[in-house]
Amino acid sequence: MRRLRRVRILATLGPASSDSTTIRKLFEAGADVFRINMSHTSHDKMRELIATIRNIEASYNRPIGILVDLQGPKLRLGTFKESAAILANGQSFVLDSDPAPGDATRVHLPHPEILRALKEGDALLIDDGKLRLIAEETSPQRAVTRVVIGGRISDRKGVSLPDTDLPVSAMTAKDHADLAAALEAGTDWIALSFVQRADDVHEARRIVRGRAAIMSKIEKPQAIDRLADIMEASDAIMVARGDLGVEMPVERVPGLQKQMTRMARRMGKPVIIATQMLESMIASPVPTRAEVSDVATAVFEGADAVMLSAESAAGKYPSEAVMMMDHIGEEVERDPTFGSVIDAQRPDPEATAGDAIAEAARRIAETLHLPAIICWTSSGSTAMRVARERPRCPVVAITPNATVARKLALLWGVHCVVAEDAHDSDDIIHRAGRIAYRDGFCKAGERVIVVAGVPFGTPGTTNMVRIATIGSDADANL
């Protein structure tokens, strides 16, 4: 199950892809990490999906990453007397704390934190931006708004606040319960929805306590304003273009995607591009040309992973959507311009021994045209440093920790192997060569480069680089 592409694929599980047979097909088609969306998944179902993935993982002896995506705060209107009303452009409309059913003049807003935080001039977007209101008078009990874009408004539609910094946590009571269940079930990644500030990430980290890695979903303008701090606090970020495109002008999203991708690479954090990548494949066996170009752009930018949402969760062609992403990734990475585009975006290494060695390993491998860089890694940091360099040859990460291998399944260009930790420097070199030979990364007589940390088993001590020749007896010693 060696992947021939460097970009990774996340596939969301859902009604169309919850059984063992379909999940296996998705893995065989190219999925590296599976996403479980807690907006639509019970705890029992989540545990069932994780157990299924672990069984598939064991049958292939390949680490598979699992991402549990927390719902986050969902802000919604109250109800209407007749289930809906029509708002006209220019009219006045009130959102208040009165729980009585609404009409064409007012509706209950069951979120006192919004009424307290709204300021005059703030925008309110209803139903994924289909309706737009501007606050003209605000108080803790009611907000008088002017309808800028009207239309049909109905029960419990979502409310987005692009201009308002809400003093609320990114985690609700439901999220706390979901997080506890996910950690107990053994997830590898936790995705936080509607992150506004680094403190949101710190709050989750105090609960997680190292039992999973934390991914921040960037989907609010407030997060863009504090992006560096959020990224520093996170283990990875997701460019959640759907909600981001609701709360910001859609024409800004492509540029922000590029900025976030490059910032994440500079900081050595994995970045995932998500939402509507192959949207038409929910109902069609082939994507549009624009969608193919969209996925290709993310690959050319050097994103660690691209993600399928409804395409694999609820669509008619889940495995075909994964295969299409796989084909796009392979084709882009074969393109003669791909290497030069990736190289042009390479950030300077940080002033640390680990980053200096990772850069040196990449330069040596490319100068000598070596077939692979092999990393022994206890915490995953060595592999992450080398992946940040985006080398032209594959990266083989060997770790004694299955949890680390599953986390690294998200990482650009990294092939993860779980193996007993090395005993000494000779063991590092010999077993690295045998594993790389076994998995098809090199042939007998070829040279590879090996990166490791000494003393062995000590996280964050990348301090050794060696060039080794694969012996002619490598296959006999497997």
Q: List the catalytic residues.
A: 35, 76, 217, 275
Q: How many Å separate Cα 291 from the centre of its chain?
A: 19
User: Cα(289)–Cα(280) distance, rounded to whole angstroms?
Assistant: 10
Measured in degrees and rounded to the nearest 5, phi and psi for residue 347 equal: -80, 160
Residue 80 Rama label (left phi>0; alpha psi -120 to 50; beta):
beta
User: Cα(193)–Cα(14) distance, rounded to whole angstroms?
Assistant: 18
The closest alpha carbon to 410, from 90, 23, 139, 64, belongs to: 64
CA distances from 410 to 34, 94, 188 (A): 10, 46, 10
3-state class percentages of the chain: helix first, strand second, coil last, to nearest 5: 40, 25, 40
Q: How many Å separate Cα 165 from the centre of its chain?
A: 24
Measured in degrees and rounded to the nearest 5, phi and psi for residue 178 equal: -65, -40
Structure tokens at 469: 């020749």
The radius of gyration of the chain from alpha carbons, rounded to an integer in Å, stands at 24
Crossing angle (nearest 10°) for helices 173-185 and 43-60:
30
The closest alpha carbon to 444, from 371, 375, 378, belongs to: 371
User: Cα(301)–Cα(408) distance, rounded to whole angstroms?
Assistant: 20
The closest alpha carbon to 110, from 118, 120, 119, 100, belongs to: 100
Sign of CA dihedral 415, 37, 42, 319: negative
User: Cα(171)–Cα(195) distance, rounded to whole angstroms?
Assistant: 9
User: Cα(51)–Cα(62) distance, rounded to whole angstroms?
Assistant: 15
DSSP annotation of 250 reads G
DSSP annotation of 76 reads B
The closest alpha carbon to 332, from 295, 369, 278, 362, belongs to: 295
Residue with tokens 């060695």: 357
Q: Which residues contact 241 (CB under 8 A, 6 or more apart)?
A: 253, 257, 273, 274, 275, 276
User: Cα(387)–Cα(373) distance, rounded to whole angstroms?
Assistant: 10
User: Cα(187)–Cα(181) distance, rounded to whole angstroms?
Assistant: 9
